[in-house]
Amino acid sequence: MAQQFDLVVIGSGTAATVSATHCRKAGWSVAVVDHRPYGGTCALRGCDPKKMLVAAAEVMDGIARMADVNVIQGKASIDWAALQRFKRSFTDPVPARREQMLQEQGISTFHGKACFTGIRQVQIGAETLDAKHIVIAAGAEPAPLPVDGAGHLMLSDAFLELETLPQRLVFVGGGFIGFEFAHVAARAGADVVILNRGPHPLKQFDPDLVAALVERTQALGIRVLCNHEVRAVEQTSDGYTVRAASPDGKAVFEAVNVIHSGGRVPAVSDLDLEAANIAHEGLRILRNDFFQSTSNPAVYVVGDAGAPPLPLTPVAALEAGAAAANLLEGNHATVDYTGIPTAVFTEPVLARVGLLEAEAKAHGLRYRVKHETVPGWYSARRINESCYAFKVLVEDGSERVLGAHVVGPGAVEIINLFGLAMRTGLKATDLAYATFTYPTSASDLESMLP
Ligand SMILES: Cc1cc2nc3c(=O)[nH]c(=O)nc-3n(C[C@H](O)[C@H](O)[C@H](O)COP(=O)(O)OP(=O)(O)OC[C@H]3O[C@@H](n4cnc5c(N)ncnc54)[C@H](O)[C@@H]3O)c2cc1C
Ligand SMILES: NC(=O)c1ccc[n+]([C@@H]2O[C@H](COP(=O)([O-])OP(=O)(O)OC[C@H]3O[C@@H](n4cnc5c(N)ncnc54)[C@H](O)[C@@H]3O)[C@@H](O)[C@H]2O)c1
């Protein structure tokens, strides 16, 4: 006999938790299902564990910068096993706590892989759930790469769990994961190569600031090779051989581990979307502005599973909140993606909010721009940081901030302030009026305005 619910949510990550708890608070009967430990990518296999590892890299970088000016004497090193234990002190309790939190609210929790067996029906192993509504919050997974021996690629989940750090690593892809993990691994003493298919690594970011970060990355001993498309990974007696197509023909690299950092796609291929008449183009479910399937009105799709414009945790939460409001009160809530910041947690951080200069040009906007490289500014000098640059675009007439881009100390918090301005309609003149404590990264902001 099928169990009946007002709402079944597939996933237990950020998007799932937000939509499930909102609907439960309104009195709906709600079920959540996940086939992996409860908590989702951000808390267990993404943002949070990654930034625990970054914490050690930050300290190592600070020591290296101060040692360069003879302020720090002696050597420090990362004890990788201890770092992993420290990380697990955060991640290990997450699944039980998340499931308990849901259950305490009266949400039923299921374990197993869900797939559709009807318009409003989901199967989990031997259990059948009938639902008035279903939210797909199944997240994303590493993209299948057309690489011979792709099965040898280590996934980001496994990298974050490594008990010992291999001495030689190759990253397949120069995006978020490649750069963030490479910066951690290099600070922990590994020999690291990033191979990127196209000419532009981190292509979502300002190319001038990416160039500054690449220079800083290479100064750490990390080799960043563009126009290197990985074609094959072969197992050897002590690791792997990586073969890539390169401008010079073929390039060959040896590594103990080869890590997949070549992009992620919505994790919807096992859901049997056809069984529920859910229209899709490839792995992109067709949804309207209210996050509802265009072909099955009982189904909403949110977070990474819906291929959002920015596959980030805060976006998953925003979409799930809007979808829950639409489920409860009828379709009315959309998400404004303006002014949502994003950052690459290298050391130093590269961050962005709003439009790239090329996008502002393509939109035909009239703007002025200030782009400077400022390692001489006090915030950078104080910590002997050589990489500090920014680019800020302000629209002529309206004085709206169109886009802001920073690489360097405090970049992420500066970008958060620009994001606040963009989301709340503060003008560049308002930002200039603000008075921040000195000397801080925020107090650099005024000098960044064009
Ligand atoms: C290494 C890494 C680092 C990241 N760092 C950041 C960062 O610093 N900042 C940031 O904002 N974003 C970061 N992200 C992205 C962020 O983690 C995601 O955008 C966010 O977690 C998406 O949340 P979600 O709820 O949509 O999906 P998820 O959190 O991925 O949850 C989906 C859940 O659904 C489950 N599931 C899937 N299919 C089924 C099924 N058929 N049946 C049952 N359960 C199923 C999965 O097991 C998973 O638990 C990072 C991602 C990675 C991989
Ligand atoms: N700080 C953050 O917010 C953060 C951190 C990590 C991951 N994430 C999320 O995870 C997603 C996936 O991250 P990612 O780094 O895997 O993807 P990405 O899209 O950022 O970068 C993938 C890169 O791999 C390259 N590539 C693909 N196939 C290749 C091949 N065969 N050889 C060489 N290069 C190849 C692509 O050209 C691209 O530059 C991100 O889009 C982001 O949404 C976010």
The 3-state secondary structure of 229-289 reads EEEEEEEECCEEEEEEEECCEEEEEEECEEEECCCEEECCCCCCHHHHCCCEECCEECECC
What residue numbers does the annotated binding site for NAD(+) cover?
Answer: 173-180, 263
**E strand map for 310-419:** 342-344, 349-354, 367-373, 389-395, 401-408
d(C-alpha 162, C-alpha 50), whole Å: 12
* Residue 208 tokens, joined: 């001038």
Query: Is residue 114 within 8 Å of residue 124, measured between CB atoms?
Result: yes
Of the bound ligands, which one is closest to the alpha carbon of residue 340? 1
d(C-alpha 449, C-alpha 395), whole Å: 11
* All structural domains of the chain with their residue ranges: 3-46+82-142+265-329, 150-262, 341-448
CATH annotation of 150-262: 3.50.50.60
Q: What is the mean pLDDT of each run of 10 residues along the chain (450 residues)?
A: 96 98 98 98 98 98 98 96 98 98 98 98 97 98 98 98 97 98 98 97 98 98 98 97 94 98 98 98 98 98 98 98 98 97 98 98 98 98 98 98 98 98 97 96 97
Task: Name the CATH architecture for the domain at 3-46+82-142+265-329.
Answer: 3-Layer(bba) Sandwich (3.50)
| For ligand 1, atom 37: residue with the closest CA | 138
Of the bound ligands, which one is closest to the alpha carbon of residue 149? 2
d(C-alpha 22, C-alpha 32), whole Å: 13
In this prediction, residue 279 carries a pLDDT of: 98
**Is there an atom of ligand 2 within 6 Å of 342 CB?**
yes
d(C-alpha 357, C-alpha 392), whole Å: 9
Query: How far is Cα of residue 194 from the mean position of the Cα atoms in its chain?
Result: 18
**Is there an atom of ligand 2 within 6 Å of 357 CB?**
no
| For ligand 2, atom 31: residue with the closest CA | 230
Residue bearing tokens 């799930």: 320
In this prediction, residue 1 carries a pLDDT of: 83
CATH annotation of 341-448: 3.30.390.30
| For ligand 1, atom 47: residue with the closest CA | 36
The interface predicted TM-score of the complex, written ipTM, equals 0.98
Q: Please tell me the pTM assigned to this model.
A: 0.98
d(C-alpha 355, C-alpha 70), whole Å: 41
In this prediction, residue 129 carries a pLDDT of: 98
Same fold for the pair 3-46+82-142+265-329 and 150-262: yes
Of the bound ligands, which one is closest to the alpha carbon of residue 33? 1
Distance 142 CA to ligand 2 centre (A): 9
Ligand 1 site: residues with CB under 6 angstroms?
10-16, 33-36, 40-42, 46-47, 50, 113-114, 137-139, 156, 177, 267, 270-271, 303-305, 311-314, 316, 345
Tell me how crowded residue 212 is: count the other CB atoms within 10 A of its CB: 20
Q: Name 406's Cβ contacts closer than 8 Å, sequence gap at least 6.
A: 209, 350, 351, 389, 390, 414, 415, 448
Distance 259 CA to ligand 2 centre (A): 11
Distance 180 CA to ligand 2 centre (A): 10
Query: Is residue 261 within 8 Å of residue 160, measured between CB atoms?
Result: no
Distance 438 CA to ligand 1 centre (A): 38
Q: Is 49 left (phi over 0), alpha (psi -120 to 50) or beta?
A: alpha
Residue bearing tokens 């404590």: 437
In this prediction, residue 248 carries a pLDDT of: 87
